[in-house]
């Protein structure tokens, strides 16, 4: 149960609520449906607890039961929450800008924010190429070795940066991953100077990303926008053009303060 008990910020959590949301997060993963046995295995919760939580969520309309497969799945009631979030963070206003970038360069374009020290994807537009990446909306990635994450971290207050570097385990994903806090601080400084972040093969071999910051109406960092593509398709002249287009695009976007997570 270690996964459920990591957050000590609130002294009196309601465990049943934590367990219920843990099941929801499992059901929101790649598979369409889960059996009770699968949910027990994934959550490490006893059968009776899983059964009661599913029954409660089902009675509220958030989970449904497939009578044929005898498995459970999330309902479209969650889409109402998604729609509300989209309106709050004005994704619909940003998507046209993303489409223009994706259409011009035929490469994947992503929008992300920082959430609890990680990058979470809010929207992505795929590349039309046969060789393309598979980043999915709602998935999390480390912030220290991704272009989106570094663009978000670079414009945080110095105390926030230091707290992030001290608190989070800076895992190495490839031989090129930078994990030294002092070196990352220098990288953050460079990002602020040049206005964009570039990461090549630090998180995934053969993948590079270019990201630029998006600010809210008070000048605080709110989100970041990026290109993601195979390193095999990136040439120096294309990189320069993509950087220029990305920076020009984010300058046209100003988000309300409510965008910040």
| Residue 64 DSSP label | E
pTM exceeds 0.85, yes or no: no
- Residues above pLDDT 70, as percent of the chain: 85
Give the position of tokens 């809210």: 216
**Is residue 31 located within the same domain as residue 89?**
no
Alpha-carbon distance of 210 to 67, in angstroms, equals 46
Alpha-carbon distance of 212 to 137, in angstroms, equals 18
90-105 pLDDT tens trace: 777 899 999 999 999 9
Q: What is the pLDDT of residue 79?
A: 62
What are the residues facing 112 on neighbouring strands? 121, 224
**Is residue 58 located within the same domain as residue 136?**
no
**Is residue 216 located within the same domain as residue 114?**
yes
Q: What is the pLDDT of residue 160?
A: 92
What are the residues facing 65 on neighbouring strands? 72
**pLDDT of 158 above 80:** yes
17-58 pLDDT tens trace: 888 888 888 888 767 888 999 999 888 999 999 989 999 988
**Is residue 131 located within the same domain as residue 41?**
no
* Residues whose CB falls within 8 Å of the CB of residue 143, separated by 6 or more in sequence, listed in order: 114, 117, 118, 119, 149, 150, 152, 153, 164, 168
Tokens of 101: 């970038």
**Is residue 248 located within the same domain as residue 146?**
yes
**Comparing 85-89, 124-128, 253-257, which segment has the lowest mean pLDDT?**
85-89
Q: What is the CATH number of the domain that holds 235?
A: 3.30.450.40
Q: What is the pLDDT of residue 193?
A: 97
**Is residue 40 located within the same domain as residue 91?**
no
Q: What is the pLDDT of residue 25?
A: 83
Summary mean pLDDT of the chain: 86
**Is residue 109 located within the same domain as residue 127?**
yes
**Is residue 67 located within the same domain as residue 136?**
no
**Is residue 246 located within the same domain as residue 146?**
yes
Mean of the pLDDT values across residues 173-178? 96
Q: What is the pLDDT of residue 2?
A: 35
pLDDT grade, residue 192 (50/70/90)?
very high
Alpha-carbon distance of 66 to 220, in angstroms, equals 46
Cα separation of the two ends of the chain:
27
Mean of the pLDDT values across residues 77-96? 70
Q: Which domain holds residue 42?
A: 2-75
Q: What is the pLDDT of residue 10?
A: 55
Q: What is the pLDDT of residue 27?
A: 84
**Comparing 59-68, 79-88, 225-234, 246-255, which segment has the lowest mean pLDDT?**
79-88
Mean of the pLDDT values across residues 139-161? 94
Domain count, the chain: 2
**Is residue 191 located within the same domain as residue 137?**
yes
Domain end call among 75, 92, 123:
75
């Amino acid at each position: 149960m270690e996964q459920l008990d990591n957050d000590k910020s609130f002294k009196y959590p309601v465990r049943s609520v934590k367990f219920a949301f843990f099941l929801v997060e499992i059901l929101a993963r790649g598979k369409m449906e889960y059996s009770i046995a699968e949910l027990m295995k994934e959550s490490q919760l006893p059968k009776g607890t899983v059964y009661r939580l599913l029954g409660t969520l089902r009675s509220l309309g958030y989970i449904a039961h497939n009578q044929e497969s005898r498995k459970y799945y999330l309902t479209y009631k969650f889409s109402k929450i998604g729609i509300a979030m989209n309106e709050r963070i004005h994704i619909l206003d940003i998507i046209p800008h993303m489409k223009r970038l994706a259409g011009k360069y035929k490469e994947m374009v992503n929008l992300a924010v920082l959430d609890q020290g990680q990058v979470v994807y809010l929207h992505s537009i795929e590349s039309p190429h046969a060789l393309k990446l598979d980043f999915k909306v709602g998935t999390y990635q480390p912030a220290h070795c991704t272009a989106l994450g570094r663009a978000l971290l670079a414009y945080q207050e110095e105390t926030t940066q230091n707290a992030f570097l001290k608190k989070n385990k800076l895992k190495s994903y490839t031989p090129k991953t930078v994990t030294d806090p002092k070196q990352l601080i220098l990288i953050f400084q460079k990002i602020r100077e040049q206005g964009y972040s570039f990461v090549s093969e630090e998180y995934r071999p053969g993948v590079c990303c270019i990201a630029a910051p998006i600010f809210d109406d008070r000048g605080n960092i709110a989100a970041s926008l990026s290109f993601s593509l195979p390193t095999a398709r990136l040439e120096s002249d294309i990189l320069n053009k993509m950087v220029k287009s990305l920076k020009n695009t984010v300058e046209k976007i100003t988000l309300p303060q409510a965008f910040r997570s």
